[in-house]
Structure 1
Amino acid sequence: MNLQDIIQLIGNVGFPIALCLILLQSILVKFNKQMDGLEKRLAQLDKTINMMVRTFDTNVSNTSRQEEKG
Protein backbone atom coordinates (compact mmCIF):
# COMPACT_ATOMS: atom_id res chain seq x y z
CA MET A 1 0.00 0.00 0.00
CA ASN A 2 1.69 3.19 -1.13
CA LEU A 3 1.13 6.77 -0.02
CA GLN A 4 -1.17 7.63 -2.93
CA ASP A 5 -3.45 4.68 -2.07
CA ILE A 6 -3.59 5.77 1.58
CA ILE A 7 -4.47 9.36 0.66
CA GLN A 8 -7.19 8.16 -1.70
CA LEU A 9 -8.53 5.80 1.00
CA ILE A 10 -8.70 8.64 3.55
CA GLY A 11 -10.46 10.87 1.03
CA ASN A 12 -13.01 8.18 0.23
CA VAL A 13 -13.89 6.79 3.67
CA GLY A 14 -12.48 9.18 6.23
CA PHE A 15 -9.51 9.07 8.55
CA PRO A 16 -10.85 6.83 11.36
CA ILE A 17 -12.05 4.14 8.98
CA ALA A 18 -8.86 4.30 6.92
CA LEU A 19 -6.76 3.98 10.08
CA CYS A 20 -8.83 0.98 11.20
CA LEU A 21 -8.31 -0.71 7.83
CA ILE A 22 -4.55 -0.10 7.95
CA LEU A 23 -4.34 -1.49 11.49
CA LEU A 24 -6.47 -4.49 10.53
CA GLN A 25 -4.16 -5.26 7.63
CA SER A 26 -1.07 -5.11 9.84
CA ILE A 27 -2.72 -7.31 12.49
CA LEU A 28 -3.71 -9.88 9.88
CA VAL A 29 -0.18 -9.99 8.48
CA LYS A 30 1.27 -10.59 11.95
CA PHE A 31 -1.41 -13.19 12.69
CA ASN A 32 -0.61 -15.09 9.49
CA LYS A 33 3.09 -15.12 10.36
CA GLN A 34 2.31 -16.49 13.81
CA MET A 35 0.05 -19.16 12.33
CA ASP A 36 2.81 -20.23 9.94
CA GLY A 37 5.20 -20.51 12.88
CA LEU A 38 2.69 -22.56 14.85
CA GLU A 39 2.12 -24.83 11.89
CA LYS A 40 5.85 -25.55 11.66
CA ARG A 41 6.05 -26.21 15.40
CA LEU A 42 3.07 -28.57 15.27
CA ALA A 43 4.65 -30.50 12.41
CA GLN A 44 7.85 -30.86 14.42
CA LEU A 45 5.86 -31.93 17.49
CA ASP A 46 4.03 -34.53 15.41
CA LYS A 47 7.34 -35.96 14.17
CA THR A 48 8.71 -36.06 17.70
CA ILE A 49 5.65 -37.81 19.11
CA ASN A 50 5.69 -40.37 16.30
CA MET A 51 9.37 -41.07 16.96
CA MET A 52 8.68 -41.49 20.69
CA VAL A 53 5.80 -43.89 20.00
CA ARG A 54 7.97 -45.98 17.67
CA THR A 55 10.74 -46.06 20.29
CA PHE A 56 8.26 -47.06 22.99
CA ASP A 57 6.79 -49.83 20.81
CA THR A 58 10.28 -51.13 20.06
CA ASN A 59 11.20 -51.16 23.74
CA VAL A 60 7.98 -52.95 24.70
CA SER A 61 8.54 -55.55 21.97
CA ASN A 62 12.12 -56.14 23.09
CA THR A 63 11.06 -56.43 26.72
CA SER A 64 8.33 -58.97 25.95
CA ARG A 65 10.77 -61.06 23.88
CA GLN A 66 13.26 -61.08 26.74
CA GLU A 67 10.56 -62.15 29.19
CA GLU A 68 9.54 -65.03 26.89
CA LYS A 69 13.16 -66.24 26.72
CA GLY A 70 13.73 -65.89 30.45
Structure 2
Amino acid sequence: MDLQAVVQLIGNVGFPIALSLILLQTILIKFNKQMDGLEKRLAQLDKTMKLMVKTYHQSTSKSAIRQDKKEDG
Protein backbone atom coordinates (compact mmCIF):
# COMPACT_ATOMS: atom_id res chain seq x y z
CA MET A 1 0.00 0.00 0.00
CA ASP A 2 1.62 3.25 -1.10
CA LEU A 3 1.45 6.61 0.68
CA GLN A 4 -1.07 8.19 -1.68
CA ALA A 5 -3.47 5.27 -1.20
CA VAL A 6 -3.15 5.61 2.59
CA VAL A 7 -3.83 9.36 2.47
CA GLN A 8 -6.84 8.80 0.24
CA LEU A 9 -8.13 6.07 2.56
CA ILE A 10 -7.80 8.35 5.59
CA GLY A 11 -9.59 11.13 3.73
CA ASN A 12 -12.44 8.83 2.75
CA VAL A 13 -13.10 6.93 5.98
CA GLY A 14 -11.17 8.68 8.72
CA PHE A 15 -7.96 7.87 10.57
CA PRO A 16 -9.20 5.23 13.09
CA ILE A 17 -10.96 3.18 10.42
CA ALA A 18 -8.04 3.49 8.00
CA LEU A 19 -5.59 2.41 10.69
CA SER A 20 -7.82 -0.54 11.58
CA LEU A 21 -7.95 -1.63 7.95
CA ILE A 22 -4.16 -1.38 7.58
CA LEU A 23 -3.62 -3.41 10.76
CA LEU A 24 -6.17 -5.99 9.65
CA GLN A 25 -4.42 -6.40 6.31
CA THR A 26 -1.06 -6.80 8.05
CA ILE A 27 -2.42 -9.38 10.48
CA LEU A 28 -4.09 -11.37 7.71
CA ILE A 29 -0.88 -11.48 5.65
CA LYS A 30 1.12 -12.75 8.64
CA PHE A 31 -1.61 -15.26 9.51
CA ASN A 32 -1.62 -16.65 5.98
CA LYS A 33 2.17 -17.07 6.04
CA GLN A 34 1.94 -18.93 9.34
CA MET A 35 -0.81 -21.18 8.00
CA ASP A 36 1.31 -22.01 4.94
CA GLY A 37 4.20 -22.94 7.21
CA LEU A 38 1.92 -25.13 9.33
CA GLU A 39 0.59 -26.90 6.26
CA LYS A 40 4.13 -27.75 5.16
CA ARG A 41 5.04 -29.03 8.63
CA LEU A 42 1.87 -31.12 8.83
CA ALA A 43 2.59 -32.66 5.44
CA GLN A 44 6.10 -33.57 6.59
CA LEU A 45 4.70 -35.01 9.82
CA ASP A 46 2.23 -37.10 7.83
CA LYS A 47 5.03 -38.49 5.67
CA THR A 48 7.11 -39.29 8.74
CA MET A 49 4.24 -41.05 10.49
CA LYS A 50 3.48 -43.14 7.41
CA LEU A 51 7.14 -44.14 7.18
CA MET A 52 7.19 -45.08 10.87
CA VAL A 53 4.05 -47.20 10.53
CA LYS A 54 5.45 -48.91 7.44
CA THR A 55 8.74 -49.62 9.24
CA TYR A 56 6.87 -50.94 12.27
CA HIS A 57 4.77 -53.29 10.17
CA GLN A 58 7.84 -54.56 8.34
CA SER A 59 9.73 -55.22 11.57
CA THR A 60 6.68 -56.90 13.11
CA SER A 61 6.25 -59.21 10.13
CA LYS A 62 9.98 -60.07 10.12
CA SER A 63 9.91 -60.94 13.82
CA ALA A 64 6.82 -63.12 13.26
CA ILE A 65 8.64 -64.99 10.51
CA ARG A 66 11.66 -65.52 12.79
CA GLN A 67 9.43 -66.90 15.55
CA ASP A 68 7.78 -69.28 13.08
CA LYS A 69 11.20 -70.56 12.02
CA LYS A 70 12.26 -71.07 15.65
CA GLU A 71 9.10 -73.01 16.39
CA ASP A 72 9.57 -75.21 13.30
CA GLY A 73 13.26 -75.79 13.99
Shorter-chain TM range is: over 0.9
1:55 maps to: 55
Structure 1 stretches lacking a partner, 5+ long: none
Whether 1:24 aligns to 2:31 is no
Paired residue total: 70
Structure 1 runs of 4+ aligned residues shifted over 3 Å read: none
Q: For 2:18 and 2:32, locate their aligned partners in 1 and report how far apart those are by CA, in whole Å.
A: 21
Q: For 2:24 and 2:57, locate their aligned partners in 1 and report how far apart those are by CA, in whole Å.
A: 48
**Structure 1 residue 42: Cα displacement:** 0.3
2:40 maps to: 40
**Structure 1 residue 14: Cα displacement:** 0.3
The structure number with the bigger radius of gyration is 2
Counting aligned pairs with the same residue, the percent is 66
**Structure 1 residue 28: Cα displacement:** 0.3
